[in-house]
Structure 1
Amino acid sequence: MHAAQYDLAIVGCGPAGLSAAINAKIRKLDFVLFGTEFCSLKLHQSPIVDNYLGFPHINGEELRQQFLRHVETMGIEITRNKITNIFPADQGYTLLGKDGTAYLASSVILATGVAYSQMLPGEGEFVGRGVSYCGTCDGPLYRGKNVAVIGYTQEAESEVEYLARVANHVHYFVRYRRQPQPLPANVTLSHIPVLRFEGNGYLEAVVTKEGLQPVDGVFIFRDAEPPGQLLLGVQVQDQAVVVDRNLQTNLPGVFAAGDITGRPWQLAKAIGEGNAAALQAAEYLRSLKQRQNDLVSQAV
């Protein structure tokens, strides 16, 4: 099966991603918008938003619903597949979804928000060597083995259920307030924070204040992945993607908008950057097509 191909992939359906999608639609781009359940958990959890022009003292969930109705009236669909990895392809980028589906895009807008939980000591060292961010992608590597899951959002529970069917035992470290739903018998729950990861070349254990817990692998599920792990090679500083005035990253055809570009983490900033990123992506695609046409003309 061939991967679906688009002019533009927008990763994230918060305010920045939705704003980018609206402007991509207006520019008649062939694009795909990726998002998870809430399309801005941050806005969903905000009791009052008082600094967004034209909407004084509005409930965050009400504003979120208005955003979603706006994109729906424009015929914009949200592909409910979390993107876990992006890497360069022959003509743009390949995006890999949590369910294993691959997508191709000539350009990308990163609008995934910010991971409010920081990377743990040793996490970066063991990425690909015991640390993973996608259970359905890497779970089969740990068939019959013991793994840990660190879940910062309830979305991790579906991954825990899947891993419980594959692994021998799952140690689930819960980092959110709500009590998890009933889980399989081979899942051990813990509310103790993980302090760091240890190993010699490959991950061997997670460390808590109670000591070492030997595991063969660990899966980490946050509200947003660290951008440097989502797209290797993108320039990151202080956990934010570095962009220029055109919201262009150091990678050709890759733009970023919203909280992922750093402080201030403000709604109006996110929406404005989403708008601008889509305009810049449209210009990039226009220039790319022109260069391709010029090459064809020269070859004739």
Structure 2
Amino acid sequence: MLREKFPLYLDLIRWNRPAGWLLLLWPSLYALWIAAGGFPGWHLIAVFTLGTILMRSAGCCVNDVADREFDKHVKRTAKRPVTTGAVSVREALVLGAVLALLAFALVLTTNAAAIAWSFAALAISIAYPYAKRFVSMPQAVLGVAFSFGIPMAFAAVRGEVPLLAWVLLLGNLFWVLAYDTEYAMVDRDDDLRIGIKTSAITLGRADVAVVMACYVAAIAIWAVVLAGRIPAWTLALTAAAAGAQAAWHYTLIRERSREGCFRAFRVNHWFGFTLFAGTIVGYALA
């Protein structure tokens, strides 16, 4: 039975689509560097890398259970294992709980502050899948959930979460709004038909402009935080590289085609990697 189910479990946690956990990973890692003022040590890098993969996988389990009735009516999600019944709700929730417990075991190797903040991170992760039923911009809730590795990184390094961490979280929230609105633009027609609330629907024809404004805000906040911490030329080069990617995304989403918007979403992890690379190179040269 396990041998037959194992490929379905891998599909459930999106194992063959690592872009999802990379979107979570890069902000968490550059937050570690900023919190530590440089290399944070291999232990914390390992904890946050493995923890990110585990929690993203657990989140997929919860999300698919919450959305199983909606997913039947969306082209892109109709064949997900929980939606089709190939994996039961109980199986998905048990798998999600096991993965979350493994992630918590990693957090236990850090400190009391990080452990305490992990409960808030878990609560937001569980709440997000249900936000689209009540919130007109559920992508904002996802933005907080996907950015919570930042305060946890500061807690793990410093034993506290200073204002700087929340400023970084705000910048990352703008990035999440940008890429998840691109994602929502893919399913706009299906979501309108079944009554799901998304930023793509709420924004209407302002969607492209708001996405671009969010990219600008994300880059600007990252640059303000790093100003004076890394060499100015590294800061400028990184911001320019991230800005060039945002400009490319505009060419992909301006016509609002499913293919273009989905491609823009799928390559977004390179934007996060750019900010991460600029951070570690900047600290190495500072």
Larger Rg: 1
TM range, smaller chain: under 0.3
Greater fraction helix: 2
Greater fraction strand: 1
